[in-house]
């Protein structure tokens, strides 16, 4: 006998016999047998970050010490009732374990955040305009190591989480924290290699951003005859890996005058598009104001020659 009180705490599993006697001069006598089960809780789902190239990933909450009875019911947040599930996207995953003959409200549960990141695109950069808070027209996001000009403004971004999920961002430049949002603006006035790293929920990757001294090369002649060669007044940047002029120095101003000092062309965001229009052949004078943070002014002449 385990006792005669109205309540009892059982320390071991097994089959037990219960006898109830209402006392003398009563007919309140009954008996029954019942079984005590032990529901082993699942192992914790550890918050972790994984590279998408290694997916899918199997979550197994009973792999270290297999102790969950085979007849237990698994209920995953994905709707699966299997003992394990495969995941390939970021999210919060949970599972509960219960016994099929006991109320489903009696269960053991665990949950955790699984972050799945594409390592190839964890850090992407795009040239930004110096004045307007938007990307440089015609530019695209690019991943991996990048070469930029000194004074060039580049916006780097991290991956966007799925709906209902949260990413925690930690940007570092040369080991020092610079941002905790999903983006970071980079600009340096000194040449050299800069290490940019991003940690997203435990997944971390690095790129090297090389700031180079980009010399501005302005042509002194254009031949807008439609042969596809020297048809436009194309300002270039010298140096290996130099980006297009208008990407490095967006919002730069170009003004062109004729020999009598009359302004014949002006652009406040020059894109290498001027082709002399309907102007006559001859010598013209130009002023270029670079949006380089120093308002550098350049000037010179260009000859239009169609023959």
The yes-or-no verdict on residue 65 having pLDDT over 70 is no
Biggest CA pair distance of the chain: 129
Asked if 288 contacts 253 with a C-beta cutoff of 8 angstroms, the reply is yes
- Asked whether 242 and 149 are in contact (CB, 8 A), the reply is yes
Average pLDDT over residues 223-236: 91
Domains in the chain, please, with CATH? Answer: 48-117 (2.60.40), 120-212 (2.60.40.10), 216-304 (2.60.40)
260 pLDDT tier (thresholds 50, 70, 90): very high
Q: In the prediction, which pLDDT does 247 show? A: 76
pTM: 0.67
**pLDDT for the residue numbered 5:** 72
**Which whole number is the average pLDDT over 19-33?**
77
Length of the chain: 307
Please provide the average confidence, as pLDDT, over all residues in the chain: 87
CA distances to 60, 74, 158, 230, 299 from 39, rounded to whole Å, are: 17, 12, 42, 80, 82
User: Is pLDDT larger for residue 175 or for residue 132?
Assistant: 175
Q: What is the CA radius of gyration of the chain?
A: 35
């Amino acid at each position: 006998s385990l006792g005669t009180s109205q309540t009892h705490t059982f320390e071991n599993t097994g089959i037990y016999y219960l006898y109830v006697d209402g006392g003398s001069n009563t007919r309140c006598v009954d008996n029954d047998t019942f079984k005590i089960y032990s529901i082993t809780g699942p192992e914790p789902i550890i918050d972790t970050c994984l590279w998408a190239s290694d997916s899918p990933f199997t979550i197994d909450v009973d792999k270290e010490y297999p102790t969950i009875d085979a007849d237990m019911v698994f209920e995953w947040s994905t709707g699966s009732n299997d003992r394990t599930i495969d995941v390939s996207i970021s999210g919060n995953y949970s599972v509960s374990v219960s016994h099929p003959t006991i109320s489903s409200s009696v269960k053991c549960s665990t949950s955790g955040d699984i972050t799945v990141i594409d390592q190839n695109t964890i850090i992407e950069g795009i040239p930004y305009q110096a004045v307007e808070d938007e990307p440089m027209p015609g530019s695209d996001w690019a991943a991996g190591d990048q070469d930029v000009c000194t004074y060039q403004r580049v916006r780097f971004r991290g991956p966007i989480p799925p709906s209902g999920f949260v990413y925690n961002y930690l940007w570092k430049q040369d080991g020092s924290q610079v941002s905790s949002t999903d983006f970071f603006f980079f600009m340096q006035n000194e040449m050299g290699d800069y290490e940019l790293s991003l940690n997203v929920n435990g997944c971390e990757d690095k790129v090297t951003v090389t700031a180079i001294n980009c010399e501005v090369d302005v042509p002194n002649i254009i031949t807008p005859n439609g042969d596809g060669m020297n048809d436009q007044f194309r300002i270039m940047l010298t140096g290996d890996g130099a980006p297009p002029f208008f990407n490095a120095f967006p919002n730069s101003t170009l003004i062109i005058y004729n020999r009598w000092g009359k302004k014949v062309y002006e652009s406040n965001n020059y894109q290498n598009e001027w082709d002399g229009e309907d102007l006559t052949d001859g010598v013209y004078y130009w002023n270029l104001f670079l949006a380089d943070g120093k308002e550098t002014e350049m000037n010179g002449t260009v000859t239009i020659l169609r023959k």
